[in-house]
Structure 1
């Protein structure tokens, strides 16, 4: 006598998850976001899944395997929504993901080519700095570029990168940069903002920046950056940024003393005056 088998009319969440190739936790999440309706519960209070529940769960898994986001799956199940409209929305979402993956792969390729965290910065910055020999950039240089890209974007960081090219190729200017960094850091040791040393360091910083700018112009680095401004297309153009440049700068925790802050402000004023007079 052959044994007879009968399939259950309803199954528990563990069996439903095993059949669909997912996990009970994922199924509970589908319930929470309204993607999978809550099923009936048995006498023990546990969920029971019927044939229709399993079919919907299988479709969810197929769409997930196709790379469709959970938020976009609702359109496929919305009978009141035009199917073509829903498909257009899904196609746009997938195209956006494809573009994002392309950007991520480009970053990985830059990292492999450069072999340092510099590859995580924009291709504009890498293009200007990627040919420098190993060790030419300091860690603080990369950190400064990272902050500048966040505040001013790739073009702003590209402008700053020209200064680091000059410093990396002119040891005398690099030595002066280090002396100025040390002098500015010493202003945090209780120096009064009105102390004449603040004005002295600010003028030295301004002269130093002017020397870097002269070399950048003489070597054509400024023209390279000007060309970037003419050809660069911001991938985020037209989208509202999370915060303005000023807001981003004010959220960066700099622990500068009033004297050091005044020195930075004063050097900026002097440099602005020199550019206006040029």
Structure 2
């Protein structure tokens, strides 16, 4: 009994294209041809093709199947290695699924890590929201947890809304007054959330550089001027306090 290429592909549950590809990469030996030039496949070819199809369906790559050859009908070592790999994939997929469930439950934007779920209900300005997105990538996991404390409604200061609403043409006295009151807010935050003042400690220069780059893009010149004044006043205040 012999079969054509189309017939053996149908018997094995695969496609003509796959059979031809297996020939090209050396997985399936070329059969003899009839006098009319058509290939004629026998039982040996079918069994080999069935084995290739089975291994492919299990998740083996063609290079792995080529290494196994056709000698071992029960490649235990390769199967156990595949089982370990599948177990790792399942664990990873379970973690991903749990994360997706968390995103759905909290309606968390996909550019933010799970630690920032509070953003979904936090009254952040668009500028702060964009900075937060970068911080989610910039900070390690333990520091993201600390930073997330700043995103809660409880951490919001009266000066935050004033800063968000600061007009581009705010005069110097208004900027200076807001900066000084923001320093007072910083001291309150420092008492409540001391860990936030050590963010980026693993690489402070890189941390400051990136935060500065993002701030230059997301805040207005008037807001940036207030931030500069605030930092200057905070350093002077800290030095005075000893």
Normalised by the length of structure 1, the TM-score is 0.51
How many Å separate the matches in 2 of 1:209 and 1:271?
7
Instruction: Tell me whether 1:107 sits opposite 2:99 in the alignment.
Output: yes
Instruction: Tell me whether 1:18 sits opposite 2:4 in the alignment.
Output: no
Q: Is the 8 A contact 1:149 1:157 kept in 2?
A: yes
User: What SS does the aligned partner of 1:158 have?
Assistant: helix
Larger Rg belongs to: 2
User: What SS does the aligned partner of 1:117 have?
Assistant: coil
Instruction: Tell me whether 1:117 sits opposite 2:104 in the alignment.
Output: no
Q: Is the 8 A contact 2:180 2:230 kept in 1?
A: yes
In the TM superposition, what is the alpha-carbon distance from 1:124 to its structure 2 partner?
Answer: 2.9
How many Å separate the matches in 2 of 1:108 and 1:156?
22
> Which whole-Å deviations, capped at 9, do the CAs of 1:149-202 have from their partners, x for residues lacking one?
333343343333222214x7647344134135x64xx8xxxxxxxxx97xx969
Q: Which one of the candidate residues 47, 52, 58 is aligned to 1:55?
A: 47
Counterpart residue number, 1:89: 81
Instruction: Tell me whether 1:157 sits opposite 2:144 in the alignment.
Output: yes
How many Å separate the matches in 1 of 2:234 and 2:29?
65
Task: Name the count of aligned residue pairs.
Answer: 220
How many Å separate the matches in 2 of 1:63 and 1:100?
22
Q: CA RMSD in A?
A: 5.4
User: What SS does the aligned partner of 2:51 have?
Assistant: helix
User: What SS does the aligned partner of 2:161 have?
Assistant: helix
Instruction: Tell me whether 1:36 sits opposite 2:27 in the alignment.
Output: yes
User: What SS does the aligned partner of 1:36 have?
Assistant: coil
Change (3 A) 1:86 1:124: same
Q: Which one of the candidate residues 54, 61, 70 is aligned to 2:61?
A: 70
In the TM superposition, what is the alpha-carbon distance from 1:101 to its structure 2 partner?
Answer: 0.6
Q: Is the 8 A contact 1:141 1:164 kept in 2?
A: no
Change (3 A) 1:94 1:176: same
Q: Is the 8 A contact 1:111 1:120 kept in 2?
A: no
How do 1:221-232 residues align onto structure 2 when only pairs under 5 Å count?
221-222=193-194
> Which whole-Å deviations, capped at 9, do the CAs of 1:90-113 have from their partners, x for residues lacking one?
233223211211111111221232
In the TM superposition, what is the alpha-carbon distance from 1:71 to its structure 2 partner?
Answer: 6.6
Q: Is the 8 A contact 1:60 1:73 kept in 2?
A: no
How do 1:227-238 residues align onto structure 2 when only pairs under 5 Å count?
none
Change (3 A) 1:40 1:113: same
Q: Is the 8 A contact 2:112 2:133 kept in 1?
A: yes
Change (3 A) 1:117 1:96: same
In the TM superposition, what is the alpha-carbon distance from 1:222 to its structure 2 partner?
Answer: 5.0
- In structure 1, list runs of 5 or more residues that go unmatched: 1-5, 187-195, 227-244
- In structure 2, list runs of 5 or more residues that go unmatched: 198-205
Q: Is the 8 A contact 2:125 2:164 kept in 1?
A: no
> Which whole-Å deviations, capped at 9, do the CAs of 1:50-98 have from their partners, x for residues lacking one?
54454344334333444x25278448725899x5653453233223211
How many Å separate the matches in 1 of 2:162 and 2:181?
11
